[in-house]
C-alpha cells in the first residue's frame, strides 16, 4: 500500500506547478483575452537559461533570478512583436494560432541549443536526499506568488487598468488608460509566473519536452477553475495534482494523463466556463 502522506505531498507539489502555469494562462487571458499556447515554451526557455546560469555559477537562486528576468523580456517581446500586430487587425483567432507556432519553434530552438538529452537540474533545497524541503518551497512559492497576483488584480489601480484594457479597451483608452502598455504588462506578468513554474517543474531532469504534460495539466486546472478566475485555477491546480498523484500511486502512472483528459472533457461538457468561472451574456 503506497504511503498516502507521500502521495498527498507529491500531489501538492505537482499541483503547485500546475497552478502556477495555469495562473500564467489566466493572467494573459484576463489581460488580453488570448489563450497563450506558447506559455510552456516560454517557460522552457527560461528554465534552460536558469540551468545555464546554475551550471556556470553553481547558484540556484541566481539561475532563478535570471529565469524570471528572461521571462519578463520574452513576454514583452512576444506581445509587442507577434500578438499586437495581429490584434490590431481585429482577428481573434490569429494570435492563438501564432502562439501554437511559437510553441513549436521555441521547443525546436531549445533542442538545437541545449540538445534533447535530459539535463540534471537541482532542487532549491536538497537535505540528505529528501525531497520534502523542496516540496515545501514549491508550494509556498506558488502560494505567495498567487497571493501577490490576486492582490494586484483585485486591490490596485494597475490591476483595475489591466482588467479595463482587456474587457473594454476602447472605453479604457478614452478614460486615459494606456491600453497597449497594459497589454504588455499582462504578458510580462504571465511570462514571469510561467518562468517560475518552469524552474519549479524542471528538477530533477530538464528536457525540451519536460513541460508538455505539465501544460496539459495546467490547462486542465485553468479549465476547472475558469479561465477568468485566478482563485479557481489555483484551487484546481492543487486538487488536480493531489487527485492525479493518487491515481498514479493507486491505479498506475499510465492512467494519469487519461484521467486528466477525462476531467478536462467532463468539465468542458458540463461547465464550459469552469467550476468557479461565470459565463458572460452577449447581446446580438
State pLDDT tens for residues 158-194.
888 888 887 777 788 887 888 888 889 989 999 999 9
How confident is the model over 274-279, as a mean pLDDT?
68
| Structure-block grid coordinates of residue 231 | 482563485
Q: Is the pLDDT of residue 127 over 70?
A: no
- Give residue 12's pLDDT: 92
- Give residue 131's pLDDT: 58
Burial of 196 (C-beta count, 10 Å sphere; 0-12/13-18/19+): buried
Preceding peptide of 204 cis, ω within 30° = yes
Q: Is the pLDDT of residue 269 over 80?
A: yes
- Give residue 246's pLDDT: 93
Instruction: Output 1 or 47, whichever has higher pLDDT.
Output: 47
- Give residue 134's pLDDT: 77
Question: Which tens digit of pLDDT belongs to each residue from 105-126?
Answer: 999 999 999 998 999 888 887 6
Contact 201, 210 (CB under 8 A): yes
Alpha helices in the chain (DSSP H): 4-32, 39-57, 60-78, 84-87, 93-114, 132-155, 157-167, 169-174, 179-201, 212-225, 230-250, 256-270
Instruction: Output 114 or 127, whichever has higher pLDDT.
Output: 114
- Give residue 24's pLDDT: 92
Give the pLDDT band of residue 90 (cuts 50, 70, 90): low
- Give residue 130's pLDDT: 53
- Give residue 220's pLDDT: 92
Residues 6+ apart with CB under 8 A from 36: 24, 25, 28, 29, 99, 190
Instruction: Output 279 or 274, whichever has higher pLDDT.
Output: 274
- Give residue 178's pLDDT: 86
Question: Which tens digit of pLDDT belongs to each residue from 249-267?
Answer: 988 989 998 999 898 888 8
Q: Is the pLDDT of residue 91 over 90?
A: no
- Give residue 284's pLDDT: 35
Mean pLDDT of the chain: 87
Give the pLDDT band of residue 76 (cuts 50, 70, 90): very high
| pTM of structure | 0.88
Give the pLDDT band of residue 150 (cuts 50, 70, 90): confident
- Give residue 281's pLDDT: 43
Query: Could you give the CA distance from residue 87 to residue 85 in angstroms, rounded to a whole number?
Result: 6
Amino acid at each position: 500500500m503506497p504511503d498516502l502522506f507521500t502521495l498527498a505531498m507529491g500531489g501538492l507539489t505537482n499541483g503547485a506547478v500546475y497552478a502556477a502555469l495555469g495562473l500564467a494562462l489566466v493572467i494573459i487571458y484576463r489581460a488580453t483575452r488570448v489563450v497563450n499556447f506558447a506559455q510552456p515554451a516560454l517557460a522552457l526557455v527560461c528554465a534552460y537559461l536558469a540551468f545555464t546560469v546554475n551550471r556556470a555559477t553553481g547558484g540556484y537562486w541566481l539561475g532563478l533570478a535570471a529565469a524570471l528576468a528572461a521571462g519578463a523580456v520574452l513576454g514583452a517581446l512576444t506581445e509587442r512583436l507577434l500578438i499586437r500586430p495581429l490584434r490590431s487587425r481585429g482577428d481573434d483567432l490569429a494570435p492563438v494560432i501564432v502562439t501554437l507556432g511559437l510553441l513549436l519553434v521555441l521547443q525546436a530552438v531549445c533542442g538545437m541549443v541545449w540538445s534533447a538529452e535530459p539535463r540534471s537540474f537541482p532542487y532549491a533545497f536538497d537535505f540528505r536526499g529528501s525531497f520534502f524541503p523542496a516540496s515545501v518551497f514549491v508550494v509556498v512559492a506558488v502560494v505567495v506568488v498567487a497571493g501577490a497576483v490576486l492582490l494586484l488584480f483585485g486591490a490596485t489601480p494597475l490591476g483595475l487598468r489591466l482588467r479595463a484594457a482587456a474587457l473594454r479597451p476602447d472605453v479604457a483608452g478614452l478614460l486615459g488608460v494606456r491600453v497597449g502598455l497594459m497589454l504588455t504588462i499582462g504578458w510580462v506578468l504571465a511570462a514571469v509566473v510561467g518562468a517560475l513554474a518552469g524552474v519549479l517543474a524542471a528538477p530533477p531532469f530538464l528536457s525540451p519536452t519536460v513541460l508538455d504534460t505539465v501544460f496539459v495539466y495546467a490547462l486542465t486546472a485553468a479549465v476547472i477553475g475558469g479561465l477568468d478566475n485566478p482563485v479557481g485555477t489555483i484551487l484546481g491546480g492543487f486538487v488536480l495534482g493531489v487527485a492525479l498523484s493518487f491515481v498514479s500511486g493507486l491505479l498506475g502512472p499510465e492512467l494519469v494523463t487519461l484521467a486528466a483528459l477525462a476531467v478536462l472533457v467532463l468539465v468542458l461538457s458540463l461547465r464550459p466556463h469552469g467550476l468557479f468561472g461565470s459565463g458572460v451574456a452577449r447581446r446580438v
